[in-house]
Chain A
Amino acid sequence: MQYFLGVDIGSVSSNFVLIDQQQQVVSKVYLRTNGNPVNAIREGFQSLRRQMPEDAGIAAVGATGSGRHLADIILGADVVKNEITTHAVAACHYDPACQTVIEIGGQDSKIIILRDGIVYDFAMNTVCAAGTGSFLDQQAARLGIAIENLGEQSLASSRPVRIAGRCGVFAESDMIHKQQMGYPMSDILMGLCEAMVRNYLNNVGKGKKILAPVVFQGGVAANRGIRKAFEKSLGLPVAVPENHDVMGAIGAAILAGEAVSASQPTRFRGDGFILEGDFKTRSLDCQGCPNLCEVACIMRDRKILSYWGDRCRKWETSLKPAAQAVVV
């Protein structure tokens, strides 16, 4: 049996999915990137391999997320796509009639407006990460609540308090004030959810026409408090797909399946390359010009696979012919 692999290497989580020829999810892995994407890619791949049947083969690989280029180097991807496109593809696969996608991840949040199944407009958060998953994470840790339970606790609220949502620092100090005044925790948490939604709709969703069906995905979609706050604020039902946390990876897998064909074999590097050998990243300051670019490179054992980060691409292109020879 042949499957398509999709990987989404995000700032906070790294997700892996395997879909079959009918685009159904066969297995998925969701793990924390913990600041080490190289490790996350190998670990994720390994645990996905363990879940797979013995005879299963990987026919195509799609990579997305901010670490997509790293994933491409280690796994060998047929499609390397930005997060907007992959999330839109996955949302359309979940609900072909979908018109609005709300995606809130670890460090960024986005809105995608779809019409007739294609991206019609999109926006991402600009200068501030307030109102994304990492802020919720931080607050949950401060309050000693497991992030998984934060949504449940907020649902108990009957009278949410108002929290300033424009800025993460303001929100935190406002929460502390409210908590010291003795408001119940559930009301404060629901207030936080509503503040995040307000911030999202005012910044990311500014000027966009949000029409039903609305699909809410990304790690934060697991939080039922946020979902409820969205429904209240939009006056529309908000659907959360079962695989909401790995939608980017699903989109990448679908696109990878479309990209390979009889004439276009997969670039997947194979288990041996990924699981054996030792991957290391290194960085160096290029002294070639006053730009002093911070060049990073990844090596497998002692072989350098790729350079990046130099503006003039002197390093990036220095390896091209040799690197391709290694791939073959």
Chain B
Amino acid sequence: MTRVGIPQGLFYFYHYPLWKTFFSDLGAEVITSGPTSRQTIDVGIDHAVDECCLPIKVYFGHVYQMMQQQPDYILVPRLISTEHRSYICPKFMGIPDMIRATMPDCPPLIDITIDCSRETRQLWRDIYQLGTLFKASRKSTKAAYEHGLQEMRSLRVLVRQGYTPGEAMQLWENNGEGQTLDNNSDICVGVLGHGYSLYDPAISLNLIQRLRDLGCKVVLLESCSRDLVEQEAARLPKKVFWTLGRKMLGSALVMDQSEDIDGIVYLACFGCGPDSMVGDIVSRKVNHKPFMLVTIDEHSGEGGLLTRLEAFCDMLRRKQVRELESNIPAYGFYAHSH
């Protein structure tokens, strides 16, 4: 049986169900590199160019760990665009080449180009081409890919219920068995960030779980209504052409107006180009709620992060008490003071 390895980094948190289903339906065995560990990060830092962001370095670590399992192929898609006239960070485009250059012993890469910025015909041609690797007919290749898309959508339904993509993935793989959400929280925090850093507990220093441990309900950008997000993002004078950046901006504005959300935390990666723009725009546009931008890099000392999160939660709680006591929304009053 042909073994296809899928590194557990970058768009894994968005696209894994698609590829897992696709390759399984074509008769391949799918293996992954496992969750990010300290070792993954260390190996990644050794192999990647030093000026890229941490999630990309970690991805290199995953590919390296994938190699150790000696699969027949490793899936490293060349991601350019996943929707019309919007793009993924340009660093993603060169990843298959960078990996071949730094890890010459790597098994053959499946570096299918994903570019839906103008049309999808080329993508379909590439998918059919990929099917021939597994001696599949056009018809069964198409069926497998469509099945994959359907599975990816079912995962999104779970995420919309409040699970993180990681938790949803576990539920999806174990047919609904996994942790359940408990709602023992008095404050609600909206959390934004690129999925590949936010949903990887090793990269985000477990930000989401830490907020939950501090008694917060966490609302992710994936659970905001897509139409509303697009509508809010379109209020900017110029369209944000990074897919993830636009979604974060739109969700921030949706959260800013949502009555249920008490505050917003934005996780940015040091060295991320889009974040340096989008993070700043978001902090200027969020005017009704407390907002905190957290920048992470290769730290393993978690104290700094914890101090900031604790202080943020303290602030939200004291504000809540104050509003209850005085019946005056403490916020609207100063809404435009910063």
Q: Please report A residues at the B interface, Cβ cutoff 8 Å.
A: 66, 81-85, 108, 113, 115-116, 118-122, 124, 126-127, 207-209, 289-293, 311
Contact = CB atoms under 8 A, between A and B. Distances in A.
B310 interface: yes
11 contacts: A81-B314, A84-B307, A84-B311, A85-B314, A113-B338, A118-B322, A121-B290, A124-B307, A124-B308, A126-B295, A290-B38
B273 to A, nearest CB: 16
Nearest to A113: B338
Contacts of A290: 37-40
A118 B328 CA distance: 14
A131 B290 CA distance: 26
B38 A116 contact: no
Contacts of A127: 270, 295, 297
Contacts of B184: none
B330 A82 contact: no
B239 interface: no
B318 interface: yes
Interface of B: 37-40, 202, 206, 270, 283-284, 290, 295, 297, 303-304, 306-308, 310-311, 314-315, 318-319, 322, 330, 334, 337-338
B315 A119 contact: yes
B295 A209 contact: no
A207 B283 contact: yes
Contacts of B334: 115, 120
A115 B330 contact: yes
Contacts of A85: 310-311, 314-315
B308 to A, nearest CB: 6
Contacts of A311: 206
Contacts of A291: 37-39, 202
Contact of B318 (A66, A83, A118): A118
Contacts of A122: 311, 315
A141 to B, nearest CB: 25
A108 B314 CA distance: 19
Contacts of A209: 337-338
Given A84-B308, A290-B40, 6 more contacts: A81-B310, A84-B314, A85-B310, A122-B315, A290-B38, A311-B206
A122 B39 CA distance: 35
Contact of B303 (A66, A81, A84): A66
A118 B330 CA distance: 10
A291 B206 CA distance: 14
Nearest to B205: A311
Contact of B310 (A66, A82, A113, A126): A82
Given A124-B308, A126-B295, A208-B338, A116 B37 contact: no
Given A116-B322, A116-B330, A82 B307 contact: yes
A62 to B, nearest CB: 14
Which of B270, B306, B307, B310 lies at the interface centre, i.e. has the most chain A CB atoms within 10 A of its CB?
B307
Nearest to B315: A119
Which of B37, B284, B314 lies at the interface centre, i.e. has the most chain A CB atoms within 10 A of its CB?
B314
Contact of B39 (A108, A113, A292): A292
Contacts of B330: 115-116, 118, 120
Nearest to A124: B308
A207 B338 contact: yes
A209 B338 CA distance: 5
Contact of B307 (A83, A115, A120): A83
Nearest to B316: A119
B63 to A, nearest CB: 16
A252 B166 CA distance: 38
The 9 closest A-B pairs by CB, nearest first: A84-B311, A290-B37, A82-B310, A119-B315, A290-B39, A291-B38, A82-B307, A85-B314, A291-B37
A122 to B, nearest CB: 6
Given A119-B314, A120-B334, A293 B38 contact: yes
Given A121-B338, A311-B206, A82 B314 contact: yes
Contacts of A118: 315, 318-319, 322, 330
A24 B40 CA distance: 52
Given A115-B330, A121-B338, A207-B284, A289 B37 contact: yes
Contacts of A289: 37
A207 B334 CA distance: 14
A201 to B, nearest CB: 14
Nearest to B206: A311
B228 to A, nearest CB: 26
Contacts of A115: 330, 334
A81 B304 CA distance: 13
A84 B330 CA distance: 19
Contacts of B319: 118-120
Contacts of B295: 126-127
A293 B39 CA distance: 10
Nearest to A65: B307
Nearest to B65: A290
A124 B284 CA distance: 17
Nearest to B201: A311
A315 to B, nearest CB: 15
Contacts of B270: 127
Contacts of B307: 66, 82-84, 124
Given A82-B307, A84-B307, A207-B284, A119 B318 contact: yes
Nearest to A85: B314
Contacts of A124: 304, 307-308
Contacts of B297: 127
Contacts of A81: 310, 314
Contacts of B322: 116, 118
